Amino acid sequence: MPDSPDLTARKRGVDVIKDNLSRLPAKPGVYRMFGEDETVLYVGKAKSLKARVSSYTRIGGHTQRIAAMIMATARMEFVVTESETEALLLEASLIKSLKPRFNILLRDDKSFPYILIRRDHDAPQVLKYRGSKQDRGDYFGPFASAGAVTRTIDTLQKAFLLRTCEDSVFSTRQRPCMLHQIKRCSAPCVDLISAEEYRALADQAADFLRGKATDLQTALATEMETAASDMEFEQAAALRDRIRALAHVRAQQDINPDGIEEADIFSIALEGGQSAVQVFFIRAGQNWGASVHFPRHEKGETEADILAAFLVQFYDKRPPPRLIFTSVDPADGALIADALALKADRKVEIRTPQRGEKRALVEQASRNAAEALSRKLAESASQARLLKEVAKAFDLEEPPQRIEVYDNSHIQGSNMVGGMVVAGPDGFEKGQYRKFNIKDKSLEPGDDYGMMREVMRRRFSRALKEREEGNGANWPDLVLIDGGLGQLSSVIEAIGELGLSPSDVNLVSIAKGVERNAGREQFFQPGRAPFRLPENAPVLYYLQRLRDEAHRWAIGAHRAKRSADIKKNPLDEIGGIGPARKKALLQYFGSAKGVSQAKLADLKEVEGVSAALAERIHGHFNSG
């Protein structure tokens, strides 16, 4: 029920809220408050929209943050829901997508990885997996980090000898790979193990991930003793190595909760207006890693309010476990538990343990949270000093809150890629990094200036559009370009085509020093003679780090593009060849090169390849 533009043009703050109040029902729902520039200021939920919104019409009694939000409100929108639980879930989803200024935000909201044992192949593959669960198989997770997944997969390779290779590699192997030589794979690709025995190994690995490690170790120990008694010492040694791998991973876990099969543990530390939330993941009675998060919120928020907002956003796209332990009771804890139960379609409990082993786990998480916050505060203070020095070095009015750094990468003009990294008060914002595959076919190979012009045209075309739509949060306070005066001139030319000038964007280019020596970099800024910074100045080291990160990111994007090109199979360019026919051709001829050299008669012999398709394949490789 948005207000009409003519009405809101004459009203602000409390007047806008009062005007909306007259049309609101006493039903649950979600409300959004918009600023004058159409940016979303706040998203909230209510059991009764009328009662909740009416609280904003009272003069006084509000925190400074809420008072500022009310005064900035120019328009409101509302969505009525069936229940307060549905309103809570919708609120979390909108907060994550809109990122309103006055809400508590889960900033580092990345997807957590899973382990997948694929079951759509005769020889199941174990791999790290992110995203929607579309492939058929057994999923285990979430794990706290990619590192935790890598370590666990490494254990699965040692203990269960499962393959990690892609199907395309598996189907073309003619002899065992190096992983088999170092006893990390049973080599099902060349039939060194029967399909039945290999599936049994995959089942054992799944049992291990389901928490049946003790039973599994006992069974393997029995097998080892039997093999030794039968004088099959090689088999006994292999079983011994598998048992050691299982024992090692269990010993490495610093949290071994007795009696807790599945739970997430959340502890919050709050100091100096900033907070840290430590999360422990326990699945199948095992520690599957930990992660720490730093929610964005205003000063004055309580631990209970921060944790409540964090929990709902954390589980917006993730399945919640049956049990959640917290260091403090979150605000609206019962409502959050009901909302998560509705989402998971089963009971979810939120508890704050007071004693025993569960309390010890929460306290351990609390210590981790406090230490992480302490480090964060120290880093933030150092970062704030550096940004002040950046502002001083480049004559900026205020310390920059968003610095964008650009670099290009290519090899002799091939696989041209531009890279952008972003930094600010919280360090590198890796979720904001971007890469630009150069699309202009008219560019000469290796034209760095042309590449930079295209990158800047695309970046600021988007930035201008976002600003017109009321989202100016991503407009850079400083643009740092890796290059000299030529690159800077190219950028000025590119933004000029969009109607911008150096007065609209703070531009600086950084050129490598004499003989490319670090510490002797030269800086170029519009309207200013080239200059250098003192060689031992901390701000110079900081700027070097920004440039090096942009260089690393651009090179990584270039290498990924180059690798993708290298991996392209010429068969993919021929119409009518899908995965099945491609596999049949590769198995028959051994490689794409073998297919390219095959005679027409031989191509017709491949199962699934018709005479017409054989002629098309032969013609593709023999067009002369």
Q: Note the maximum CA span of the chain.
A: 93
The number of CA neighbours under 13 Å toward the Cβ of 510 is 29
Q: In what order do the strands lie in the sheet with 137-140?
A: 126-129, 114-118, 137-140
Q: Which of 272-286, 520-534, 578-592 has the highest mean pLDDT?
A: 520-534
- Phi/psi at 211 (5° precision): 100, 15
Q: Quote the tokens at residue 12.
A: 């602000």
Q: Which residue has the higher pLDDT, 262 or 213?
A: 262
- Phi/psi at 269 (5° precision): -120, 140
Q: Which residue has the higher pLDDT, 341 or 238?
A: 341
- Confidence grade of residue 28 (pLDDT, cut at 50, 70, 90): very high
In CATH terms, 5-98 corresponds, of 3.30.360.10, 3.90.700.10, 3.40.1440.10, 2.40.50.140, to 3.40.1440.10
Query: Is the model's pLDDT at 615 over the cut of 90?
Result: no
Q: Give the residues across from 44 on adjacent strands.
A: 31
Supply angle C-alpha 239, 240, 241, rounded to 5. 90
Residue 258 has what pLDDT? 59
Query: Mean pLDDT across the stretch 82-97?
Result: 89
- Confidence grade of residue 10 (pLDDT, cut at 50, 70, 90): very low
Of the listed ranges 106-110, 133-137, 191-195, 231-235, the least confidently predicted one is: 106-110
Parallel, antiparallel, or unpaired: how do β-strands 114-118 and 137-140 relate?
A: antiparallel
The rounded distance, in Å, linking the Cα atoms of 449 and 456 is: 11
Q: Which of 303, 307, 275, 280 lies closest to 291 in space, CA to CA? A: 280
- Confidence grade of residue 3 (pLDDT, cut at 50, 70, 90): very low
In CATH terms, 570-621 corresponds, of 3.30.300.30, 3.30.70.260, 1.10.150.20, 3.40.50.970, to 1.10.150.20
Query: Mean pLDDT across the stretch 526-546?
Result: 90
Local structure of residue 328 (DSSP, 8 states)? S
Beta carbons within 10 angstroms of residue 524's beta carbon: 21
The CA-atom distances, in angstroms, between 416 and each of 11, 240, 420 are 52, 51, 14
The three-state secondary structure class of 51 is helix
Cβ-contact 603, 609 below 8 angstroms = yes
Q: Quote the tokens at residue 444.
A: 């000469």
Per residue in 404-426, pLDDT (tens digit) is 999 988 776 667 888 999 999 88
The rounded distance, in Å, linking the Cα atoms of 117 and 208 is: 12
Q: Which of 141, 138, 175, 182 lies closest to 161 in space, CA to CA? A: 182
Residue 2 has what pLDDT? 47
Residue 558 has what pLDDT? 82
Residue 120 has what pLDDT? 87
On whether the pTM is more than 0.75, the answer is no
Query: Is the model's pLDDT at 517 over the cut of 70?
Result: no
Query: Is the model's pLDDT at 515 over the cut of 80?
Result: no
As a whole number, the mean pLDDT across the chain is 84
Query: Is the model's pLDDT at 6 over the cut of 50?
Result: no
Query: Is the model's pLDDT at 62 over the cut of 90?
Result: no
- Confidence grade of residue 1 (pLDDT, cut at 50, 70, 90): very low
* Helical spans, DSSP H, in 126-232: 146-160, 167-172, 178-181, 195-209, 213-229
Q: Does 403-536 match 5-98 at the fold level?
A: no
Domain residue extents for the chain: 5-98, 262-375, 403-536, 570-621
Q: Which residue has the higher pLDDT, 62 or 342?
A: 342
Residue 305 has what pLDDT? 92
Query: Is the model's pLDDT at 614 over the cut of 70?
Result: yes
Query: Mean pLDDT across the stretch 105-118?
Result: 79
Q: Which residue has the higher pLDDT, 252 or 103?
A: 103
Per residue in 322-361, pLDDT (tens digit) is 999 999 999 989 999 999 998 888 899 999 999 888 898 8
The CATH code of domain 262-375 reads 3.30.420.340
Q: Quote the tokens at residue 56.
A: 């904003």
Q: Could you give the percent of the chain with pLDDT greater than 90? A: 29
Residue 521 has what pLDDT? 87
Query: Is the model's pLDDT at 467 over the cut of 90?
Result: no
Query: Is the model's pLDDT at 186 over the cut of 80?
Result: yes
Q: Which residue has the higher pLDDT, 400 or 212?
A: 400
The CATH code of domain 403-536 reads 3.30.420.340
Residue 607 has what pLDDT? 85
Query: Is the model's pLDDT at 238 over the cut of 90?
Result: no
Q: Is 278 exposed, middle or buried (0-12, 13-18, 19+ CB in 10 A)?
A: buried
- Confidence grade of residue 561 (pLDDT, cut at 50, 70, 90): confident
Q: Could you give the percent of the chain with pLDDT greater than 70? A: 91
Per residue in 254-310, pLDDT (tens digit) is 455 556 778 999 999 998 888 999 998 888 777 777 888 999 888 888 999 999 999
Residue 311 has what pLDDT? 93
Query: Mean pLDDT across the stretch 605-617?
Result: 86
Query: Is the model's pLDDT at 470 over the cut of 80?
Result: no
Q: Quote the tokens at residue 270.
A: 């709050």
Q: Which of 271, 296, 309, 300 lies closest to 65 in space, CA to CA? A: 300
Residue 350 has what pLDDT? 94
The rounded distance, in Å, linking the Cα atoms of 66 and 55 is: 11
